[in-house]
Amino acid sequence: MTSNGGVRLDCDGPVATVTLDRPDVLNAQTPAMWQAMREFSRDLPGDVRVVVVRGEGRAFSAGLDLSVASGVAGGASSAPSDPAPGSFAELVRLSPQECADRIGEFQEGFTWLHRPDIISIAAVQGHAIGAGFQLALACDLRVLADDARMSMAEVTLGLVPDLAGTKRLVELVGYARALEICATGRRLDATEAERIGLANVVVPRAELDAATRDLAAAILSGNRDAVIEIKALIAGASGRSPADQQRAEREAQTRRLRDLAGQGE
């Protein structure tokens, strides 16, 4: 087990589990957690095929820790001249390019879940707000408990979603629905999330862990190289013309046939 900054990584054979472990604050996220998740990508053993992302306690993640917004480094008595690392107060002191680069580092705590050699699954219960919603979106698949509540709440702080969630949201629900969700910051329950394509499955809260394990097992039952090729085909489909997608299918199948026949490179 690797634990750092309120988040931990557990590896059990081909399945790795990332757990947000701040249940006392509903797994509110900090830049330190994003840095830890960024480093987890480098710590994954080579045999890991599935990464499950979950939250300890009654919520997946209630979003950004309020100390990041307030800029408090060491409590309410901290001097205004000593903003917390990654806080809004620190970011606005940077040049525009430095600020954008810092946010780019934060995004890497989420985008590694897009890696082509793994399938990532978010197991979501309770609140998944703001950064929590974007972390669920960073995963390839989402299993929701029936008490899940999701919201892209950045607009309520005068901000935009910036943790790589907007493209995934558009891909899942379309432009108009994504704009409405982000511009209003309204909450979606599990039933609506399933109806509009945000959830692969919704289960009773008590069955969340079992349903996630079952989905991971189903993925692991397939040939690893075939699953990797399938993910690449699906992930790239929206950016290809029909002819280009068909060519990609032909090329992928040729690689699989040659590999299965022992003729791979």
Q: Greater confidence, 48 or 43?
A: 48
- Report pLDDT for 76: 41
Residue type, 246: Q
Q: Mean pLDDT lowest for which of 68-82, 118-132, 247-261?
A: 68-82
At 260 the pLDDT is 96
What is the percent of the chain where pLDDT is above 90? Answer: 87
pLDDT of residue 74: 45
SS (H, E, C) the chain: CEEECCEEEEEECCEEEEEECCHHHCCCECHHHHHHHHHHHHHCCCCCCEEEEEECCCCCECCECHHHHHCCCCCCCCCCCCCCCCCHHHHCCCCHHHHHHHHHHHHHHHHHHHCCCCEEEEEECCEEECHHHHHHHHCCEEEEECCCEEECHHHHHCCCCCCCHHHHHHHHHCHHHHHHHHHHCCEEEHHHHHHCCCCCEEECHHHHHHHHHHHHHHHHCCCHHHHHHHHHHHHHHHHCCHHHHHHHHHHHHHHHHHHHCCCCC
The pLDDT of residue 59 is above 90? yes
Q: What is the CA radius of gyration of the chain?
A: 19
Over residues 123-182, the pLDDT tens digits come to 999 999 999 999 999 999 999 999 999 999 999 999 999 999 999 999 999 999 999 999
Q: For residue 79, is pLDDT > 50? A: no
| Mean pLDDT, residues 214-226 | 98
pLDDT above 50: residue 232: yes
Q: How large is the average pLDDT for residues 72-96?
A: 70
- How far apart are the C-alpha atoms of 170 and 8, rounded to whole Å? 30
Q: Are 167 and 174 in contact (CB under 8 A)?
A: no
Per the structure block, which two tokens stand in for 265? Answer: 């490179």
Q: What is the pLDDT of residue 99?
A: 95
Q: Determine the pLDDT at residue 18.
A: 98
- Tell me which residue of 194, 204, 212 sits closest to 150, measured CA to CA: 194
Single-letter amino acid code for the residue at 247: R
Res. 71 pLDDT band, cuts 50 70 90: low
Q: pTM of the full predicted structure? A: 0.93
